[in-house]
Amino acid sequence: MNAFKIMPRHLHNLGDIVLTTQVNYGSWTGRIPESKALADAVIEVCSESEITFAEAITALAKFQSQFDQDVGLPRSMTMKQAAILNPLARLAPPLDADFGGTFWEALYERVRSQDRPACPSRLLSSFACRELSQLRNYCSVHKQNRMYDKLACEIVITGCDVAFDADTSILDAIDGNMTYQTARPHILSYWDQSKTSSPIMEILLQGQYVLGKVVEL
């Protein structure tokens, strides 16, 4: 069985066998332990309150730039919560797009581990699409102007024990104006393999796959 995926151009070698235990999404999003610890902590705070994700991230940026932990706190963040987040924010690198990826993946993983533990972790998976048309659709939304160092290739996935189909457009609908409570139903829909009217399908692969020929998007 074949599928199609995006990967770094310099890592593609036709016929190579890739183990998802060694190459997976978590190796990228969790590569900075301080950022991962901060993401997990702020998600815990959000789960206990009505703080929006944007408010929480703004508070982290203030913790990194100001001395007083109570300056400009979100309306529902307690001093106890701030006291937990402040030192973690100061230990972590400056917030940037990389932290955004770490944060969102930590959020999806928390909901999965608590409510849908039988589903495969995104962090332990590699991503692909079953059809080239699906990969083109994915790239048009997620990879615009970001393919300069990447390529698309065919892969053989018969060695993957897990191939979990999901509609990533459900996760795309989650934004910073949401709270943990309002985002959670969307994340559960993703793990329940629901589909929107305009799905962007992906498969979470766990096991081993073989790199095939380069394809044009």
Residue at which a domain ends, from 97, 120, 143: 120
Banded model confidence at residue 73, pLDDT cuts 50, 70, 90: confident
- Indicate which CATH number applies to the domain containing 177: 3.20.170.10
- Residue 143 structural domain: 1-24+125-217
- Check whether 68 has a pLDDT greater than 70: no
Number of domains in the chain: 2
Q: How does pLDDT run across 2-26, given as a tens digit for each residue?
A: 999 999 999 999 999 999 999 999 8
Say whether both 32 and 98 belong to one domain. Answer: yes
State whether 181 and 105 are in the same domain: no
The model's confidence at residue 67, banded by pLDDT at 50, 70 and 90, is low
Instruction: Give the separation between CA 31 and CA 63, rounded to whole angstroms.
Output: 22
Based on the domain organization, do 111 and 97 belong to the same domain? yes
CA distance 29 to 33: 9
Residue 109 predicted with pLDDT over 90 = yes
- Assess whether pLDDT exceeds 70 at residue 201: yes
**Rounded mean pLDDT, 90-111:** 92
List, in sequence order, the alpha helices (H) in 49-200. 53-65, 79-91, 97-115, 132-142, 169-172, 180-191
Q: Could you tell me if 17 and 42 lie in one domain?
A: no
Residue type, position 99, single letter? F
Asked whether residue 211 carries a pLDDT value surpassing 80, the answer given is: yes
107 and 63 housed in the same domain? yes
Please tell me the distance from the alpha carbon of residue 168 to that of residue 170, in angstroms, as a whole number. Answer: 5
Mean pLDDT of 63-68: 73
pLDDT at 84 over 80: yes
Q: pLDDT confidence of 183, banded at 50, 70, 90?
A: very high
- Domain shared by 80 and 3, yes or no: no
Identify whether residues 53 and 64 lie together within a single domain: yes
Is 114 in the same domain as 129?
no
Asked if residue 54 and residue 2 are part of one domain, the reply reads no
